[in-house]
């Protein structure tokens, strides 16, 4: 098994993050530092990350968290900020599937299933992500049409989005926006391409999952039905 897939299966982090661990020289196999992503791991190999032995997790765990603002989507933070694992305290080693910005809240999955994580985050799979967005002012029909056709911001192109106006409060519009690309700061950059600011951002759906009645900072395990739905995407 390739080293990044093995580490992800151990619940260390996503495959992409595990690749970086290898490139940074933080992984040893049978006592020897490995930095090649082509490294294969066999059943009887001994694997360490930062000096700690790791092994494949045979129990797969799937958690939905209503991420609050003020925490980062990592398993640890060098700046000492709160992470999502400060809210989901279980014995199993899990990692977030993708990420939400520090000041963004809403639906976040955490798991130790590297295969499913890769499936949900890879751009080619076009998994739908639904956001509730409060925007500065009221976008015009022409601006909404631009979002629906795809926009460009700071040289980055963003694909077509599904956009609907939910309401207006104190002169600021509430939108529901569905995207599939999953680029960094995607929603904020799309709105800023219109010359407007995002005042509030919350992810409410992912791949057919809905946040439901979870309060900020609360979490629960996925149901068998929800898991089957994700795996069938």
> Residues with catalytic annotation?
101
> What CA–CA distance (Å, rounded) separates 116 from 154?
32
> What CA–CA distance (Å, rounded) separates 233 from 230?
5
Closest CA to 125 of 19, 26, 231: 231
Could you tell me where the DSSP H helices lie in 74-217? 114-121, 141-149, 186-192
> What CA–CA distance (Å, rounded) separates 173 from 165?
7
> What CA–CA distance (Å, rounded) separates 24 from 2?
17
Closest CA to 209 of 222, 190, 194, 192: 222
Report CA-CA distances (Å) from 166 to 110, 125, 138, 172, 176.
Answer: 29, 28, 11, 11, 7
């Amino acid at each position: 098994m390739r080293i990044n897939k093995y580490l992800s299966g151990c619940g260390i982090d996503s495959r992409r993050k595990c690749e970086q661990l290898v490139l940074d020289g933080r992984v040893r196999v049978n006592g020897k530092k490995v930095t090649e992503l082509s490294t294969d791991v066999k059943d009887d190999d001994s694997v360490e990350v930062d000096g700690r032995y790791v092994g494949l997790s045979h129990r797969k765990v799937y958690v939905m968290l209503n991420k609050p603002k003020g925490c980062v989507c990592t398993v640890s933070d060098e700046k000492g900020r709160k992470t999502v694992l400060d809210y989901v305290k279980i014995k199993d080693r899990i990692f977030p599937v993708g990420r939400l910005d520090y000041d963004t809240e809403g639906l976040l999955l955490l798991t130790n299933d590297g295969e499913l994580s890769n499936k949900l985050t890879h751009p080619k799979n076009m998994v739908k992500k639904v956001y509730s967005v409060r925007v500065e002012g009221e976008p015009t029909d022409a601006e909404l049409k631009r979002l629906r056709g795809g926009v460009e911001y700071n040289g980055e192109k963003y694909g077509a989005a599904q956009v609907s106006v939910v309401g207006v409060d104190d002169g600021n519009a509430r939108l529901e926006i569905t995207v599939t690309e999953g680029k960094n700061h995607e929603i904020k950059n799309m709105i800023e391409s219109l010359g407007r600011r995002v005042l509030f951002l919350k992810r409410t759906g992912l791949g057919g999952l809905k946040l439901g009645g979870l309060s900020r900072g609360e979490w629960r395990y996925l149901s068998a039905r929800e898991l089957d739905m994700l795996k069938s995407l």
